[in-house]
Structure 1
Amino acid sequence: MSSEVIEVCAREEPPEAWDAAVFLAGPTPRTPDVASWRPGARAALREQWRGPGRLVVLDPEHRHGIHDDYTGQVDWEERCLNLADEVLFYVPRALDTMPAFTTNVEWGMWHDSGKAVFGAPPEAPKNDYLRHYAAKLDVPTATDVPGTVALALERIGRGAPRTAGEREVPLMIWRTASFQQWYAAQRGAGNTLLGARVEWRFGLHWGLHVRVHVTAEDRVKANEVVFSRPDISTVVLYRRGRSLGDTAVVLVREFRSPASTPDGFVHELPGGSGPSDPLARAVAEVAEETGLSLAPQRLRAHTDRQLNATMSAHRAHLFSAEVTEDELAVLRASGPGGVAADGERTYVEIATYAEIARDRLVDWSMLGMIAQVLTDSEDC
């Protein structure tokens, strides 16, 4: 695929497909005798773009200098800001000719979006507040147009081909394994993504308000948000008893902010997410949260499923291992575990399956995983 840069000016319709899109945010000159910074930005983007596909530049200045519809202009900018993979802020503020009042508002809306870069000449006045938040939120910064363009393109990389509704999923979410897993499932079912809007993002966690054409019902579903995070590995450590109810299960107690339990803690299975494969992550989480070191071959893989399919797209990869009486004794005597640097502190608890079910010790997802493992173990 050949490299291409397409410039879309105010009120013009963006193309139906691209590999990356950049919105040029910043002040527009109030009079024709003041030169705009945007032609230089467009030239720098054409010069620096090395992707194999199509880069779209979304420029809120009119191609012929016509400003005839304020509401239409605002609507176009809002739409294109949401479409952009990167919002390139360049603020050569001049209080008499380019005061950048609207830019201040846009910066306030997008500075923590995860897709903003910031540039401004050192001598431009009244930018200290903007620079403060750029530094606080680790927004990449530069002091000239080519440098700011380079920052945006560095994060874009080679981009990713998207068409129609896919364009509304920015690269920072499109590239996550959790989004691709969810989207592959939707496409496999024959459904079409008609549109999306980022409602929330925190690291690799995200929430998308999506519009999906449900092919099996020939209708559009547009009133839900898909949340997701990296998949987790979860481990059921158990010691078989005389009956299913007598089987001992290892839990960890940990303070988690969303918990609405009587003690404010969650009581759950050892587990978590990370960059390693699910089995390696399972072994690591058991060691971190319980202090028990297990050889990978001791873990039995079960299946992976969503934990809350009406809300979150991420999945739990389920593993189990039967522990010995000696290992149970070590676990009962263990001290706090977890990774302190991540704000994690865990305590081992051991309960029978009957106690877990009767005393409501775990949530429904944990109870289901425990039941799956103990049912599977009965068949062995």
Structure 2
Amino acid sequence: MAREVITVYAREEPPDRWDAAIFLAGPTPRAPEVGSWRPEAIAELEERWKGGGRLVVFSPEDRHRVHFDYVGQVEWEERCLHLADEIVFYVPRDLATMPAFTTNVEWGMWHDSGRVVFGAPPEAPKNRYLLHYAAKLGVPRATDLPGTVAAALGRIGTGAPRAGGECQVPLLVWRTPSFQQWYGAQRAAGNALLGARVVWSIGDHRGLRVRIRVAAEDRVKEGEVVIYRPDISAVVLYRPGPSLEETTVVLVREFRAPAATPDGFVHEPPGGSAPGGAGGDPLRTALDELAEETGLVLPPERLRPHGDRQVNATLSAHRAHVFSAEITAAELAGLGTAGPRGVAADGERTLVEITTFGEILRGRSADWASVGMVAGVLAEAGLRG
């Protein structure tokens, strides 16, 4: 697709494909004699857009500056705000001609979405509160329109080509390895993404409500939320016993708020995720997490890979890369005397638990995913009851 910038004005239908999309949020003049800042913003975007494809600019002003249906306008803005890869908040507030009351509300709705930039002339009044939260959340800020536009385009880069329902996946999700891993699996199955909407975003964890055509069943499934987060690596440490049930297994206990276990803790093989997610090295992550949570440092050749699977396929797209190691009596004794570990700065505090496979099966503390990891590893190790 050749380089182009398309402006979509209020209540106009968006195109069906683009590489990037920007929404111009901010005060709109209501009187014809008051000039708008948006034509200058569009001109800046046309000049600065360096991507090789299509940039779509959503302008909530009517192309001919005529009166409009209020409800239709609000619904169009909500739709296009969700479609945008970046929302440019430029607030040249004038209390007499452009008080920006609606802008204040929109800022409150989107300021923590991870896809906003904020700009305002230094002399514009009543922006201190907005600027406070922009600074607090690390939102890119500028004091003029060219700088604000540049900040948005800097985060977009060259964008990414998307079509149809893909356009409803913003770049901050589209570019994550976890989304691409899930979407690649869906496409390989012949399924088509018809629609999507980010419903929440916390750090590198995101929830996307999706609408999908299921090829094998020739129907559309909608309404479910897919959680995207980095893959994890888990290490099952064991020492064979007289029987399968008497085989020693090492778990870690850690308080996690979602736990609904009898003691309020999770009990699972040591493991976790690392920066880079699915694009990182699962073996390196496994070794690092093992050392971090138990204090046991092993060379890479000690870990046996068992492949990867989803942990909770009805909710989350992430996978667990499972490894194992048969440990020595000395290593087991050292683990038995280990104190609390973890990264205190991240609120992590782990304690080693030495148990048996039989106790794991009979107890109710380890979740089914952990039971499955341990059982799979011990089965592959040839241990039998």
| TM-score (normalizing by structure 2) | 0.97
SS at match of 2:217: coil
* Partner deviation per Cα, 1:97-117 (whole Å, 9 max, x = no partner): 001011111111111111111
Deviation of residue 262 (structure 1)?
2.2
2:208 partner amino acid: L
Quote the residue 2:235 is aligned against.
235
The 2-side partners of 1:215 and 1:286 are apart by 41
The 2-side partners of 1:74 and 1:218 are apart by 34
Quote the residue 2:171 is aligned against.
171
Quote the residue 1:290 is aligned against.
294
Where structure 1 has 5 or more consecutive residues not aligned to the other structure, the ranges are none
The 2-side partners of 1:339 and 1:108 are apart by 33
Quote the residue 2:252 is aligned against.
252
Identity %: 70
| Greater mean alpha carbon deviation, residues 260-269 or residues 36-45 | 260-269
Quote the residue 1:46 is aligned against.
46
Deviation of residue 142 (structure 1)?
0.6
Quote the residue 2:69 is aligned against.
69
- Indicate whether 1:315 and 2:319 are aligned: yes
Quote the residue 2:147 is aligned against.
147
| Greater mean alpha carbon deviation, residues 237-246 or residues 335-344 | 335-344
1:223 partner amino acid: G
Quote the residue 1:305 is aligned against.
309
Deviation of residue 32 (structure 1)?
1.1
SS at match of 1:106: helix
Quote the residue 1:182 is aligned against.
182
| Greater mean alpha carbon deviation, residues 28-37 or residues 257-266 | 257-266
The 1-side partners of 2:268 and 2:287 are apart by 16
The structure 2 residue matched to 1:371, chosen from 349, 370, 375, is: 375
SS at match of 1:124: coil
Quote the residue 2:203 is aligned against.
203
The 1-side partners of 2:218 and 2:71 are apart by 34
Deviation of residue 232 (structure 1)?
0.2
Written as runs of structure 1 = structure 2, the 5 A alignment for 1:1-380 is: 1-274=1-274, 275=276, 276-378=280-382
8 A Cα contact 2:244 2:383, kept in partner: no
8 A Cα contact 2:24 2:89, kept in partner: yes
| Greater mean alpha carbon deviation, residues 92-101 or residues 219-228 | 219-228
The 2-side partners of 1:234 and 1:49 are apart by 44
* Partner deviation per Cα, 1:49-81 (whole Å, 9 max, x = no partner): 111111111111111111221111111111100
Deviation of residue 361 (structure 1)?
2.8
* Partner deviation per Cα, 1:270-322 (whole Å, 9 max, x = no partner): 00001340000000000000000000011000021111111111000000000
* Partner deviation per Cα, 1:248-287 (whole Å, 9 max, x = no partner): 0011111111111222211111000013400000000000
SS at match of 2:190: coil
1:165 partner amino acid: G
The 2-side partners of 1:198 and 1:213 are apart by 19
* Partner deviation per Cα, 1:86-143 (whole Å, 9 max, x = no partner): 0100000001100101111111111111111100011101111111111111111111
The 2-side partners of 1:66 and 1:222 are apart by 37
1:238 partner amino acid: Y
The 1-side partners of 2:227 and 2:68 are apart by 40
CA RMSD of aligned residues (A): 1.1
Deviation of residue 379 (structure 1)?
6.7
Where structure 2 has 5 or more consecutive residues not aligned to the other structure, the ranges are none
The 1-side partners of 2:169 and 2:334 are apart by 48
1:26 partner amino acid: G
8 A Cα contact 2:262 2:365, kept in partner: no
1:310 partner amino acid: T
After TM superposition, what 4+ stretches of structure 1 lie above 4 angstroms from structure 2?
none
| Greater mean alpha carbon deviation, residues 274-283 or residues 369-378 | 274-283
The 1-side partners of 2:236 and 2:181 are apart by 25
| Greater mean alpha carbon deviation, residues 313-322 or residues 3-12 | 3-12
The 2-side partners of 1:67 and 1:214 are apart by 42
The 1-side partners of 2:21 and 2:194 are apart by 18
* Partner deviation per Cα, 1:25-57 (whole Å, 9 max, x = no partner): 000012111110101110111111111111111
8 A Cα contact 2:261 2:364, kept in partner: no
SS at match of 2:233: strand
1:353 partner amino acid: F
* Partner deviation per Cα, 1:321-377 (whole Å, 9 max, x = no partner): 000000000000111111112111111010000011112230010000000000000
The 2-side partners of 1:28 and 1:362 are apart by 56
